[in-house]
Every structure is written in C-alpha cells, then in structure tokens.
Amino acid sequence: MKPYKFGFWLQAAVTLASCLFIAVPMAYSVLSGLMRNAFLGLRGGLTFQWVEQVLSLYWPTILLSIEIALLCLVATALIGIPAAYALARAPGRLARLAEEALILPVAVPGLATGLALVVAYDGWGDFRQSIWFILAGHVLFTLPFMVRAVLAVMASADLQTLEEGAASLGAGFARRFLGVVLPNCKNGILAGALSVVTLSMGEFNLTWILHTPLTKTLPVALADAYASMRLEIGSAYTLIFFIMTVPLLLALQRATKPRAGEKP
C-alpha cells in the first residue's frame, strides 16, 4: 500500500471512530426514550408513552424555550445588525477594540456570566423572577454570533461603493440601509439568526444560574429529568430536544454553504 493511501485510510478510520464514539451514545440515549424499559433494551419493545408524558408534563417548558429563543433573535437582530454596520463603516483601532469586547461573553464561562448578572440585578425582584432576566443573559451570550456573521458578509461586500451609487441616485440613509445594505447581507443575517436561535435553545450553563422554578427552559428541565425521573423520560426529552434543534443546525449549515457563483 502506498504511503499516501495508508495515511488517507488511517485518517478516515480515526475520523469514523471519533464520530461513532460521539454518535453511538447519543443515538442510544434518543432510542431509550422510545423503549418500554431502557435496561431491557429493544427486547422490552418500543413505545411513545414517554414522549407523550414529556409533552404533557413539560410542554410549557418547551414553549418557554421557543419564546425566549425568538425574543432573543429579535433583540440580537435589532442590536447586532446596526452594530455590525457601524463596525464595518468605521474601520480603525477603536472599532476593532469594540469588536473584541463583543466576544468577551463567549470567552467567559456561562456560569461566571450568570453569577455576575445575579449579583448585579438580584435586588430587581420582578425582573429577576421573570423570563426577561433569562432573555438578557441569552442576548448577552448570542449577540457576538449575530454581529460576527453579519460583519463577515459586510466586510466581503463593497458596501461603500453600493451606497455611494444609491446616494448618487437620491436615496437617503434609511432607503440605502433597507434597500441596499440589508439585501446584500441577507446570508449573514440568516446565518446569525439560526446561530442565535440554536444557541439560545441549547444554552444550559448560563440559564441554570438565571432560572427560577417557574422559568425553566428546555435544557434545564432536561437535566432535571435525568436527575430526578426515569431514564426513559429523560431520554424522551432528549429526543424532543434533537427534533427541535437538528433541523436548525442543518439549516445553519445550508445557509452558510457558498452557493454556485458566490465566493466562499
């Protein structure tokens, strides 16, 4: 066997083994949610009773996660898109420092960020006990992903030339921004939006610190289900979580894939 072929098959084997190491436990966990008894395995038969039980017990939690994710998307879009535009049109050291400052919530552990929010706003009773407190944490965590996705597209497009052309035709700032900038950044906005929704729905560390018994999100309730209930119920919860998030991940991959004729 030629050396380069041996290297290729070795890399392929390592990659396959790594994927199986991750995928097999996840697949078994999901399948356990459809088993009558996880300890008996498939011999015990399959059932949807655990999925139905999760939906009946935790449906408000699932809806709350969706609500927070969508509100987070709106907030990050309203803040992140103008912020990315300002950073793209104001190159320089100050703009780069501001861009790096946006990344800090991602670099800091979620538990530390959540604890900082609790310490700062613990005295704000109604706000501390509401979903808006969790939403504030999610916006803080996901905003960099929206800004970076939109900024990357703005940096690759010659927005200044396009805006100057529109201005020469009499278009004001609002018309240039809505009619020129946003349409040329739609791929970045879509990629950022999918990232924000996916991350918000799956965020656990930050939410675990910020939540109350009345404001549990899907990942927190999933952890509670595994800790305090039957394995099958926790696994059924995992199955529902995958059904909600995997399509978003596939859509994100499709949105960020360069189309024919486009530069990567």
Q: Which fold has domain 48-255?
A: MetI-like fold (1.10.3720)
Q: Do the Cβ atoms of 210 and 168 come closer than 8 Å?
A: no
| Structural tokens at position 180 | 């020129």
Reported confidence tier of residue 112, pLDDT bands at 50, 70, 90: confident
C-alpha span between 44 and 50 (Å, rounded): 14
Task: Look at residue 77 in the predicted model and tell me its pLDDT.
Answer: 93
Answer whether residue 94 shows pLDDT above 70: yes
- Mean pLDDT value across residues 141-163: 82
Task: Look at residue 264 in the predicted model and tell me its pLDDT.
Answer: 46
Answer whether residue 257 shows pLDDT above 70: no
Task: Look at residue 234 in the predicted model and tell me its pLDDT.
Answer: 79
Query: 40-86: per-residue pLDDT in tens?
Result: 777 788 888 888 888 888 888 888 998 999 999 999 999 999 988 88
